[in-house]
Chain A
Amino acid sequence: MGTDMEGVLQEISVDRRKDLKRIGLIINPIAGMGGPVGLHGTDNMLGEALARGASPVAEDRAREALACLLPFREELEVLVPGGAMGGRLAAEMGFRTVRISGEDEAESAASAKAAGPAEGESSASAVRSAAEQETDAAAGTARLYATGRADTVRAAAGLLALLPDERPCLVLFAGGDGTAKDIFSGLGTAIPCIGIPAGVKIHSPVYARSPKAAGRIAAGRLSGEISGTREAEVLDIDEEEYRNERISTRLYGYLMVPDDSRRIQNRKEPAPLSDRDAAAAIAADVADNMERGCRYLIGAGTTTRAVMEELGLPCTLIGVDLVQDGRLIASDIYGAEIETAAKSGPARLVVTVTGGQGFLFGRGNQQITPGVLRAVGRKNIIIIITPAKLAELGGRPLLTDTGDHELDKELAGYYRVITGYGQRTICKVETA
């Protein structure tokens, strides 16, 4: 990625005028086009969609969001990749733009052909090959929107490569879970961003509820009304599991998103703890009740990370760490290692929900296999969830989808979930 970035840097000339606000915009132009035939997510998705008369949607979704920023047009600079990835739209809507990567509209189709498929890429190369088999019109459209996931990563990385005071205050990106993954690869958690939902599959809570909502959040960011940020999960379907006919979302990481939980103050009592403080309170409870000689498997997620922070240990945010007597025994363990850890002596498993739908197992923590769960045993599962995350479920049960139906059945029932220091909430666990 290092060499990529050097190239990026040369392309950019950011207007250094201090009074301009900056916002990033990255559109995955093909996102959402596979809707009607998205059931299999095959290579032919885009071609088929085009053949059935589907048209690109991501740009329109982004337009809806950007419309909320029109009042800021005069004081705003949009940092954007060229062409269908945002440059064209931003310019068309009259925003002052600065290109961060990619080519302009005329070049994009040709260059798409010239570029070889990047390693590990699926959609981009797939789009191209599929498109070529289609009618001329469809092929033309396909070519026009042909971008690779590498382009998204590169655009995001380009923003990251800017000097801190040149960076945008927010990156808007349009796409689906795959796009979020790419933004995460390029951007990490350095710059806040918010997703404009445009893709077919949207499991990651980095996306706003609607394009308009994304636009409003961006406007709030620009006006200074929304100043806080929080980490939100980047999830994507685990394709390997998926081929085995099991839906399983994997946790890839976290993006920083604006915290727009409006401070509607309840003037009669104090506000509840912020999610971060709540996680710290939970972590203190877990840490204070740890037993000597017992192995603790901890992860994954931000709530379980708080436990590692409380213990002063490094943490694998999206993986499982092994702790005993306050010491870190192993980081990010999986496979045989985690099974061994679970089986050799008394073990406890500290988990939280992942994947937004209240999944305890089977979404985002595949390291915790049925073998691990059986070895640890139901009564040694310590579930920790912040009150705000629990409230989002509105009282619905926590779900398991371990792939082992017998085990799911055994795990079902009521649990005392740790939701604060000295505070428990009774939660029902059910098979998904």
Chain B
Amino acid sequence: MKGFDSHPYIPDSVPEIQEEMLREIGVASLDDLHKNVPELLTLKEALDIPAAFPSEMALRREADRILSRNADCGKYINFLGAGCWQHYVPAICDEVNCKGEFLTAYGGEPYNDEGRFQALFEYESMVAELVGMDVVNVPTMDWAQAAATSISMAQRITGRSEILIPEYVDPQKVDIISNYTEAALNIRRVKCGPDGMTDLSDLAAKTGADTIGVYFENPGYLGVIEEHGQEIAGMMHDSGALSIVGVDPISLGVLEAPAEYGADIVCGDLQPLGIHMYYGGGQSGFMATRDEERFVMEFPSRLFGIAPTSEPGEYGFGDVAYDRTSFGHLRDKAKEYVGTQTALWGITAGVYLATMGPAGMEEVGNIIMANAQYAASRLATVPGVKVDPFGSVFFKEFVVDFSDTGKTVAEINKALLSRGIFGGKDISGEFPALGQAALYCVTEIHTREDIDELVLALKKIVA
């Protein structure tokens, strides 16, 4: 086998240097280096992968060529959301998360990685304000994981066995939660009413002595703003259960902080806060609770806290309740692990919130709602199209029912695609009862022209 000499990423691949080092080690050749790997397991031929590009430029050229076969939401007008949303990403967010020091840091100490600790402490502090809580974790994988962990935390806190989840929650999220918590608890679904909100009587009927709590979202998966947060929390608290609320954080400049309507654990995805979509690679989950020991001690994630140092006037940081690992080690069924997750997106969300400030968060919420309302009202003018079948107030997403057009969502989306538009997510498979329905997402990035273009296209398609 032959190695690549003088590769730019491998300084000691310079043959003379390598020979010198081998002499120092006391072996004759590279072949003598893996002497503990038995002959039987030693690969005899070269790996079946293409030869290296001859230059960095060639790599770039080929990668660009392949990726040019992608369309994206810059080129197309996009109405897809459903958990990954197109929002404006301030340039400063990219500037900060592309800084090599952050991008390539990993497991340093609060002394030499002080900046990482402080940036994440600040992100925790700002998200805590957003959701009205005291404690926020260093981010986890995505919203689904954050929800799964919130539910696991609630299982350990209550010692109970069943979590209630309303019908209108993203099925892939429920799949993730169910795979993660399979060994620990049961999931019971609660009906949603014709208004798209949680059916309170069904919730009451299903709440019992085994109930860990309820996990609901606001705004919900189908866009509806849940108006009964306080009643739901009250119902849970009366039976010794917890209220877990999933949120879209970009809505919280205009929507009430979940803690204000009784949430015990809040979770959500940071992606709307200055993180690109990256074909699903920009997701980043967070959890938040009050500063109560029984909650704090159940976080499986790292929690950065502020502390003095041996130098007066100096801020230091460290891991709070570092030995907080009793979870999952005793009888608790809901065990958890930690590991590399999405810290860089936590820093980015912090940059976003600091840049937006209180005014920016309020303004963007208002623009999003106005644009979404405008889109809904215009779509309603398309023959055979029924918009917002729930008739409830929505934030940035809403259901559009194409049943009466005689066309399937798939057909419509295909036609839209040919016109350079990504139509809303087809949810006719997920929720057949809603008919040929699609979930449309409209945000601050949409212009009136974008929306009018969609409406015009649809009118042609359904005609």
Contact = CB atoms under 8 A, between A and B. Distances in A.
Asked if A pairs with B, the answer is yes
B322 A265 contact: yes
Interface string A274-297: 100110110010001000000000
A263 B109 CA distance: 12
A421 interface: yes
A17 B326 CA distance: 41
Interface string A242-277: 000000000000000000000101011111111001
A284 B108 contact: no
Given A267-B109, A268-B107, A269-B338, A421 B325 contact: no
Given A273-B329, A277-B323, 19 more contacts: A265-B318, A267-B107, A267-B108, A267-B109, A269-B338, A270-B302, A271-B322, A271-B323, A271-B325, A273-B325, A274-B323, A277-B326, A277-B329, A280-B330, A281-B326, A281-B329, A281-B330, A288-B331, A421-B331
Contacts of A270: 300, 302, 322-325, 338
Interface residues of B, number: 18
Contact residues on A (Cβ < 8 Å of other chain), bracket: 10 to 19
Interface in B405-454: none
Interface of B: 107-109, 300, 302, 318-319, 322-326, 329-331, 338-340
A287 B282 CA distance: 46
B249 to A, nearest CB: 26
10 contacts: A263-B322, A265-B318, A269-B338, A269-B339, A270-B338, A271-B325, A272-B325, A277-B329, A281-B326, A281-B330
In this complex, which of B322, B330, B338 has the most chain A Cβ atoms within 10 angstroms of its Cβ? B330
Contact of A284 (B325, B331, B340): B331
B214 to A, nearest CB: 28
A420 interface: yes
A138 to B, nearest CB: 51
A280 B323 CA distance: 15
A421 to B, nearest CB: 6
Contact of A273 (B300, B302, B323): B323
A267 B331 contact: no
B330 A421 contact: yes
Nearest to A267: B107
Contacts of B323: 270-271, 273-274, 277
Contacts of A273: 323, 325-326, 329
Nearest to A283: B330
Nearest to A269: B338
A218 to B, nearest CB: 20
Main secondary structure on B side of the interface with A? loop
A420 B331 CA distance: 10
B57 to A, nearest CB: 37
Contacts of B302: 270
In this complex, which of B302, B325, B338 has the most chain A Cβ atoms within 10 angstroms of its Cβ? B325
Contacts of B300: 270
A267 B319 contact: yes
A271 B325 CA distance: 7
Interface string A182-225: 00000000000000000000000000000000000000000000
Nearest to B332: A421
In this complex, which of A265, A269, A270, A277 has the most chain B Cβ atoms within 10 angstroms of its Cβ? A270
In this complex, which of B107, B302, B318, B331 has the most chain A Cβ atoms within 10 angstroms of its Cβ? B331
A427 to B, nearest CB: 20
A273 B109 CA distance: 21
Nearest to B337: A269
A265 B329 CA distance: 19
A269 B339 CA distance: 6
Contacts of A268: 107, 339-340
Contacts of B319: 265, 267
A278 B325 CA distance: 10
A169 B430 CA distance: 66
Contacts of A267: 107-109, 319
Contacts of B109: 265, 267
B244 to A, nearest CB: 22
A83 to B, nearest CB: 40
Interface string A140-158: 0000000000000000000
B335 to A, nearest CB: 9
Contacts of A269: 338-339
Nearest to B301: A270
A243 B318 CA distance: 55
Contacts of B338: 269-270
Nearest to B322: A271
